[in-house]
């Protein structure tokens, strides 16, 4: 079909989000699942942010990045989940055109930003283990702020590009999005425009933005493993690995769930929705848990808070 970019997309005032297809009698159960997990996301990430901000022992680059990671996880989950919960129980499963643009923009922004923050965390662990004597000099407060600000800038640029090409398409065929949030792939499917440019932009963003973050993480851990294996004592090796095991777990969880989402066959939209739930709900729920269970400093900070509460009671 010919390209009709910009001809009549302004006529669309809203979209219909199909959501996850389940029998009506399971709607309440699905809503309850979303509510419980979202509650745990709020509790875990807000607690992590609070502990990092209030405990002076956690005033280090690693926890500065971890605090920002919790903010990002909390943000992209909040961008999608409350609206999805409302639509589960609603007969009118609509989202305004502006709301859809905002949701896709924020989702893409936080998704790309998280990838860059995780790469910055990998670089931080590389410096801490491979160049410990230069750690305080290399990982200065100003550099940490610049890395986080740069991560948000990259997320902002990629989001602008993504929504520019996505919402410049014409939607003359349908306004029904077969998903529980506004994502670029299901939006492309309801367009009657040529989607070649969209696919090229998505591929370019993956190559130019996402691929370098993966390279930084892989190369950093190659050097980390090489350095740790040179440590003679088993206790020293164990201690060195423990400082980066939490980060490695979070990276594996993120890229594992994202790969599940985007490698799911396009002819199986329901499986793709389940994969999206894993990424949007369960990843931000598990990240604070991984750092709490695997990190001695965080566990000590939590115990300190609980001990103070017991004293006050």
Percent of the chain with pLDDT over 90: 51
In this predicted structure, the answer to whether residue 1 has a pLDDT above a threshold of 60 is no
Residue 214 neighbours by CB under 8 Å, 6+ apart = 119, 255
Cα–Cα dist 77/70, whole Å: 11
Residue 265's SS3 state is coil
The full set of domains in the chain, from first to last, is: 14-302 (1.20.1070.10)
pLDDT tens profile 43-94:
999 999 998 998 888 889 999 999 999 999 999 999 999 999 999 988 889 9
pLDDT of residue 171: 82
Predicted TM-score of the model (pTM)? 0.89
Q: Which residue has the higher pLDDT, 231 or 42?
A: 42
Please name the helix (run of DSSP H) or strand (run of DSSP E) that holds residue 192, with its range, or none: none
pLDDT of residue 8: 44
Cα–Cα dist 72/92, whole Å: 30
pLDDT of residue 57: 84
The mean predicted confidence, pLDDT, of the chain is: 87
In this predicted structure, the answer to whether residue 107 has a pLDDT above a threshold of 90 is yes
pLDDT of residue 298: 74
The mean per-residue pLDDT over the stretch 132-161 comes to 94
Q: Which of 201, 213, 211, 144 is nearest to 168 (CA)?
A: 201
pLDDT of residue 41: 96
pLDDT tens profile 173-226:
678 999 999 998 899 888 888 888 888 888 888 888 888 999 999 999 999 999
4 neighbors 192 (Cβ within 8 angstroms): yes
Which of 121-130, 240-249, 251-260 has the highest mean predicted lDDT (pLDDT)?
A: 121-130
């Amino acid at each position: 079909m010919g390209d009709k970019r910009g001809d009549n997309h302004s006529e669309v005032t809203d979209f219909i989000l199909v959501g996850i297809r389940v029998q009506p009698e399971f709607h309440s159960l699905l809503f309850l699942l979303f509510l419980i997990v979202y509650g745990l996301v709020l509790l875990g990430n807000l607690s992590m942010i609070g502990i990092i901000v209030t405990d002076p022992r956690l005033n280090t680059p690693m926890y500065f990045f971890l605090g920002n990671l919790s903010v990002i996880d909390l943000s992209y989950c909040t961008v999608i989940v409350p609206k999805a919960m409302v639509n589960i129980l609603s007969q009118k499963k609509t989202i305004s055109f502006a709301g859809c643009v905002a949701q896709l923009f924020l989702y893409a922004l936080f998704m790309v930003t998280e990838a860059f923050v995780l790469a910055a965390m990998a670089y931080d662990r590389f410096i801490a283990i491979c160049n410990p004597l230069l750690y305080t000099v290399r990982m200065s407060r100003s550099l940490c702020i610049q890395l986080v600000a740069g991560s948000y800038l990259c997320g902002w640029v990629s989001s602008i590009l993504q929504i520019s090409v996505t919402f410049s398409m014409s939607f003359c065929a349908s306004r029904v999005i077969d998903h529980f949030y506004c994502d670029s792939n299901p939006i492309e499917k309801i367009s009657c425009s040529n989607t070649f440019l969209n696919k090229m932009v998505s591929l370019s963003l993956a190559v130019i933005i996402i691929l370098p973050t993966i390279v930084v993480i892989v190369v950093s851990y190659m050097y980390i493993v090489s350095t740790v294996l040179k440590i003679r004592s088993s206790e020293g090796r164990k201690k060195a690995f423990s400082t980066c095991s939490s980060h490695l777990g979070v990276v594996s969880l993120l890229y594992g769930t994202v790969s599940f989402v985007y490698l799911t066959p396009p002819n199986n939209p329901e499986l793709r929705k389940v994969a999206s739930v894993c990424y949007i709900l369960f990843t931000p729920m598990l990240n604070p848990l991984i750092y709490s269970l695997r990190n001695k400093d965080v566990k000590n900070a939590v115990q300190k808070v609980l001990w103070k509460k017991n004293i006050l009671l």
